[in-house]
Amino acid sequence: MRSRNDPTANRRPRHSSLFLRLLGSLVASLILFSPSAHPDYPDKPIKIIIPTNTGGEVDTLARIFQRALREHDIIPEKTVILNLPGAGGTLGTRKIKESPPDGYTIGLWTPGIVTSKTMGIVNYDHSDFQIIGRTGFSELALGALDSSSYNTIETLIARSKANPRSVKVATNIGLPVHFTPLMFSEAAGIEFNFVQTGGGSKRLASILGKHTDMSLFSLLEFIKFGSTGLKPLVMLSEERSQHFPDIPTAKELGIDLVMHDARIWIAPKATPPDRIEYLANALKQVMALPEIKEEFNSLGINNHFGEPDEINQFLNTLSERVAPLVAKARQR
């Protein structure tokens, strides 16, 4: 039996008459009512808190979901996007954490939720939230300009060993884009010189201007900016990418590091499980839409929904691995 909580139950033709709508929902509530579900959820708009500015990568993804949810009537109520930028996203995540756990406030964020605690900016991490799921992930690679003197990862490692801190890495201190290359250098037994540069576009500008040598980018960025000479040196995925078959993975080099960029939907800790499931189902439905599949493809996002258990495990591992690196990360 279809639960009333299943978002599809509320899918109906757009221009149905009011009478049919009323009749439909009456029948549905009579037939499909089950005591464990919350038959009236959602009955008001759902707030989605985004810890970045309008126009950021996370914000854009959330708005793509918002558009699809509305256009396809997946959730009968509106969703409202609330941007709460600042302090490495912690202003936003704190607001999510402190919101009433009723399923009407959720948020979208990145693995930065782990590193903010590691860096001591906040005293909570993913374990203080209820994870709804991960809507896709992007593969990551460390890359440099083709014309730079470090155009293979082997030369880069060899030169770094001979001359520690000679490789300048553009980064955003204290965030995953800092900890990921740091984990790489630890595992490879080398040392990078990290330079605070900022968000993705500033890191790219810094690499193109040859102010720094290397940085962490998503696979899409390597494809998009390939014409500028930017290329991956080492993939941080499980397997080699079909786009760059000649580029080795970190694993092949004997470096135990697999990392991807994830977009994780979170809710306050005590949110009822059936509401979480309802929201997760809604997100899954969006991801199954053909136009979203196409859009994800063009944004370089692997269209693969991550279940909460899987994500918790991923974040736990990340948390364990970055914890011992804090002293190094804070060295400046």
Burial of residue 170, with CB atoms counted within 10 A of its CB: 0-12 exposed, 13-18 middle, 19 or more buried: buried
Binding residues for other proteins restricted to 113-152, rule: CB under 8 A:
119-121
In 189-226, which ranges are continuous DSSP H helix?
Answer: 200-208, 219-224
Q: Binder to other proteins among 138, 197, 218, 319 (CB under 8 A)?
A: 197
Q: Are 100 and 146 in contact (CB under 8 A)?
A: no
Which two structure tokens, joined as six digits, stand for 116?
């903010």
How remote is the C-alpha of 29 from its chain's centroid? 36
Residue 322 binds other proteins (CB under 8 A) = no
Dihedral pair phi/psi, residue 232, rounded to 5°: -75, 145
Q: How far is the CB of 29 from other proteins (least distance, A)?
A: 31
Binding residues for other proteins restricted to 262-301, rule: CB under 8 A:
295, 298-299
Rounded to a whole number of angstroms, the distance between the first and last alpha carbons of the chain is 59
Residue 60 binds other proteins (CB under 8 A) = yes
Q: How far is the CB of 198 from other proteins (least distance, A)?
A: 7
Which two structure tokens, joined as six digits, stand for 9?
């139950």
Classify residue 271 by its DSSP letter. -
Residue 84 binds other proteins (CB under 8 A) = yes
Cα(184)–Cα(206) distance, rounded to whole angstroms? Answer: 21
The amino acid at residue 7 is: P
Residue 187 binds other proteins (CB under 8 A) = no
Binding piece for other proteins, criterion CB under 8 A, among 9-17, 30-38, 77-85, 100-108: 77-85
Size of the residue set binding other proteins (CB under 8 A):
58
Q: How far is the CB of 224 from other proteins (least distance, A)?
A: 4
Residue 328 binds other proteins (CB under 8 A) = no
Q: Binder to other proteins among 24, 39, 76, 85 (CB under 8 A)?
A: 85
- If the CB atoms of residues 136 and 308 are measured against other proteins, the closer one turns out to be 136
Draw the binding track, 203-232, toward other proteins (x: CB under 8 A; -: no contact): -xxx-xxxxx-----------xx-xx----
- If the CB atoms of residues 88 and 143 are measured against other proteins, the closer one turns out to be 88
Burial of residue 192, with CB atoms counted within 10 A of its CB: 0-12 exposed, 13-18 middle, 19 or more buried: buried
Q: How far is the CB of 153 from other proteins (least distance, A)?
A: 22
Measuring CA to CA, how many Å separate 150 from each of 126, 168, 233, 262?
Answer: 37, 11, 9, 28
Binding piece for other proteins, criterion CB under 8 A, among 146-154, 155-163, 195-203, 258-266: 195-203
Residue 67 binds other proteins (CB under 8 A) = yes
> Any bridge partners for residue 181, and if so which?
none
Q: Are 53 and 60 in contact (CB under 8 A)?
A: no
Binding piece for other proteins, criterion CB under 8 A, among 5-13, 54-62, 129-137, 313-321: 54-62
In 163-272, which ranges are continuous DSSP H helix?
Answer: 176-188, 200-208, 219-224
Contact residues: other proteins, CB under 8 A: 53-56, 59-60, 63-64, 66-67, 71, 82-88, 90-91, 94-95, 119-121, 165, 168, 172-175, 178, 193-198, 201-202, 204-206, 208-212, 224-225, 227-228, 295, 298-299, 329-330, 332
